[in-house]
Amino acid sequence: MKTEQELAEFYERLKNELIETSLFPTRYLYKFVIPTDEAKLNQLKEVFKNTDAEITTRPSSNDKYTGVSVSLTVKNPDEVIAYYKEAGKVKGILSL
């Protein structure tokens, strides 16, 4: 698990990359992997409720994990990062 400092540095690098490579507002694609569990999936969906998010899921070959893709319109890099941070609260989630 990353330390607070490592996370802060990661998000700062991500923000700078987004500023350099994207024009906002833009459609952004999040990709996550979570343990296959309806409660975890619902918790992740809650993060994106009341948005224009399109959420698709795909089970792994052994059905132990579920891949989740979320596409939605974001206004700026800070909003991209805020969704990553909120999604990160789902236990066992992996952001890709």
Domains of the chain: residue spans and CATH: 4-95 (3.30.70.260)
State residue 30 phi and psi, 5-degree precision.
Answer: -95, 145
pLDDT at 2: 75
List, for residues 24-75, the tens digit of each pLDDT value.
999 999 999 999 999 999 999 999 999 999 999 999 999 999 999 999 999 9
pLDDT of 1 above 70: no
pTM for the complete prediction? 0.92
* 71 vs 55: CA distance, rounded Å: 7
E strand or H helix at 26: strand 26-35
pLDDT value for 45: 98
